[in-house]
Amino acid sequence: MTKDFPKERLEYAISCLRDYKRAKAPLESRIKEEELWWQLRHWEVLGPEEGEKPVSAWLFSNITNKHADAMDNFPEPAVLPREPGDRRTARQLSLIIPAVMERCGFEQTYSDAWWYKLKHGAAAYGVFWDSEAEKGLGDIDITFIDLLNIFWEPGISDIQQSRNLFIAARWDRDIFEKAYPGLKGKAGDIIDVMTYVKAANDDKVTVIDWYYKKDGRVHYCKFAGEHVLYSSEYDPKCQKGWYSHGKYPVVIDNLFPMEGQPVGFGYIAVTKNPQEYIDRLGKNILESSLMASRPRYFSSRAAGINEEEFLDFTRPLVHVEGSISDERIRPITPYPLGDAYIKVQQMKIEEMKETAANRDFSAGSTSSGVTAASAISALQEAGNKTSRDMIAASYRAYAAVAFMCLELIFQFYGPGRCFRIAGSDGFVIYSGFEERGEHPSFDIKITAQKKNPFARVSQNELAKELYSMGFFKPELANQALGALELMDFEGKDTVRSYIVQNSQKEEKTGE
């Protein structure tokens, strides 16, 4: 625990945290409500309703389809050098960063973040240095942060612009007191962190990670209640700040942005209104259908009908007193439900599909007559503009995460750090930059590690088409290279290289 940290500074941090939380209250309420929509429990949001409460999953289907698109295009970073002398290091880093991410279980983190982003409009990645990882050697830790647990300055549009940044974590009290025995029974909560489910015997301690910028450096302070547990500003080892890159270790990936906020809104906010009317209309249609399918009767009090026998459909006979006539008992004719109401419900379904860009081809359905894989792929690609735009935005966030990983490697990894890379030649050893005194600059290019099956089919179709047109014939090399200059497709450089090499071999053979 840090004893030198000024009390008034901590009071300032607590005051800011409470102000930030009050300003974020509408967002927190929206997130909790949207979770009910996601769980198909939206009748709890819509209020008390008599009778059946049917639920359709059109909104759910929209989100699952977009998530599948995202995971079909899981990103992979490639580190590019800015100077010729850094090529070897760039190749090493291109292997090391994916290995670090795999150790962190980043694919699961990426999946969780995409679910959250599609539902609530933004996902937060935390890129931290875990000094206890790898048996005390330390390593990078990339985590998904729930927006309920992070607090920023109101009115800013970029998380890095916030004067302070707070990340809350709920610790079991026994674990906290074991880690900090001097605070046994002393650490109280200064804010109530909203949770989705709260146990009746919830005995937790809220631990706050406070990040702030001072003199161009980012510092870090951990506190619980009114007790400071650690402060990098008063740590002699952190004269250059907690992280040398000078940024908060958080990257926000937005879906639909909102002005004046670092987070946006998601598909539930956009499509919950048509989903509500789809289910309200469905409720009325189903109730009408149930009424029409179950016969009911007007019966005179003097009808003399044995009601027990009449209501038991297994009885072959129903006894009555006196004569039987339409005046004594008459069927109730329900109000006929016209096709217009069903058409209105279908229109709301189509509205939701169009609003969410979740058309039939995007979801994998085809219309009659369309059976060729290339045609299906072309229609899917034409209908996936929205998904491609979202994935491109997510790649930008992923690039920011990869850049932070680079900076943490430069700051914390020592020379000789060894990595076993699956599928490579063997071991990759990080060399460091002691001879320069500072690390060089690199660029990062993000590509899709996984591909949609139809995209692969389309690529194969293109290869066969190039072959049938004679692109790989040595005598047509000049024409093929000229055509390639006007084309743009993945693997173009490989095709160009093959054509050139094939042409050179033919020339040597001719000589």
- Summarised one tens digit per residue, pLDDT across range 276-311 is 888 888 887 777 777 777 777 777 766 777 777 777
- Neighbour tally for 251: CB within 10 Å: 25
As a whole number, mean pLDDT of residues 183-188 equals 81
Please state, in angstroms and rounded to a whole number, the distance separating the CA atoms of residues 394 and 117.
Answer: 10
Rounded to 5°, angle at Cα 366 from 362 and 367? 130
Whether the pLDDT of residue 453 is over 70: the answer is no
- pTM, rounded to two decimals: 0.80
Query: What integer best gives the mean pLDDT of the chain?
Result: 83
Nearest to 317 by CA among 330, 300, 301, 305: 305
pLDDT tens for each residue of 81-136? 888 888 888 888 888 898 889 889 999 999 999 999 999 999 999 999 998 888 88
pLDDT tens for each residue of 235-276? 888 888 899 899 999 999 999 999 999 999 999 999 998 888
Nearest to 77 by CA among 428, 405, 385, 387: 405
- The mean-pLDDT minimum among 127-136, 199-208, 363-372, 435-444 falls in 363-372
CB of 3 closer than 8 Å to CB of 200: no
CA distances from 326 to 296, 330, 460 (A): 14, 6, 74
- β 217-224/204-214 pair status: antiparallel
- The mean-pLDDT minimum among 42-51, 164-173, 379-388, 494-503 falls in 379-388
What pLDDT score does 361 carry? 46
Q: CB burial class (10 A; 0-12, 13-18, 19+) of residue 196?
A: exposed
What pLDDT score does 452 carry? 57
**Selected residue with higher pLDDT from 306 and 145:** 145
* Straight-line distance from the first to the last Cα atom of the chain, in angstroms, rounded to the nearest whole number: 80
| Position 464 confidence tier, pLDDT thresholds 50, 70, 90 | confident
The percent of residues in the chain predicted with pLDDT above 70, rounded, is 85
Which segments of 199-357 are extended strands (E)? 204-214, 217-224, 227-231, 250-254, 297-299, 329-331
Please state, in angstroms and rounded to a whole number, the distance separating the CA atoms of residues 160 and 158.
Answer: 5
Alpha helix (H) ranges present in 331-427?
Answer: 339-355, 373-383, 385-412
**Selected residue with higher pLDDT from 3 and 149:** 149
pLDDT tens for each residue of 202-212? 788 999 999 99
